[in-house]
Amino acid sequence: MDDLENKVAVITGAASGIGRGMAEAFVDAGMRVVLSDVEEAVLHSTTAELRDGGADVHAVLADVSKAEDVASLAESTLSTYGAVHVLCNNAGVFAGTKPSWKSTLDDWAWVLGVNLMGVVHGIHAFLPVMIEQDEEAHIVNTASVAGLMTGGSLYGASKSALVTLSETIHLELVGGGFKPRISVLCPGLVDTNILDCRRNRPARFADAGPWPEGWSMDAARRAFALGLAPRAVGDAVLQAMREERFYILTHPEFTEHLTHRTTQIVNGDNPTLLPMPGA
């Protein structure tokens, strides 16, 4: 997908972090962007800042874990712009419970509801429209390098499922001769506020499991603050769409870890972990 001028993009989790980085990159490429987020105040402030810079953007408040919210997002997009050419299923949350069996059922419902079912809802609401348009189009699903590695617990499970779902949709689109294409974004540490995502945790999922013993939230925040800039991730996504490249890997320092896991699988070895980069 090379001609992006005036094309319409929809981004969930767009008010901050990677979502905002994508929005900035898309706006600079001449696209019209629908910004969606569950955090109303930040959504409106981000929208206003982009408009002040001359961007053609539209804001829609939505909780992607609710199918009806994503259906309304699609309706608002089409009523505003008449088409959709890019969908970035980017909204994601993190619950740091460890070990896995101490995660509550509310933890599972919240994380899977946003990280996996939020993408399913996006695919269900938007992909048939993109196919029916019979134009170039692209979907980007934000997973994580955790979805390609061992040891991610609840978060990693949601992202692993997302990688598999994206791979399957790619094969279905290509095999069916449909024009839309799809990518899966698997970043490492990015300078976002995902560690503070509990501020948006719904009251219906109030029963939260414990954070890992000895885990320092301050140290984790410092590590994320040293991560890749969200705009750099947005630029990488833009380039991958132009190249119709499926896997978007933003952190080459994890290549050894991916090779390690693949080798273990092929050899039938039991899982082991390598030290994290920079540890």
Catalytic residues, which ones?
155
- The continuous run of DSSP H or E covering 240 comes out as helix 230-243
CB–CB of 193/17 below 8 Å?
yes
Specify the 3-state DSSP secondary structure of 260. Answer: helix
Quote the CA–CA distance of 185 and 120 in Å, as a whole number: 16
Kindly write down the DSSP assignment for every residue of 20-31, as one continuous string. Answer: HHHHHHHHHTT-
246 in Cβ contact with 182 (< 8 Å): yes
The closest alpha carbon to 14, from 82, 86, 85, 83, belongs to: 86
Helices 17-28 and 230-243 meet at what angle, rounded to 10? Answer: 60
CB 8 within 8 A of CB 86: yes
CA atoms of 194 and 224, how far apart (whole Å): 9
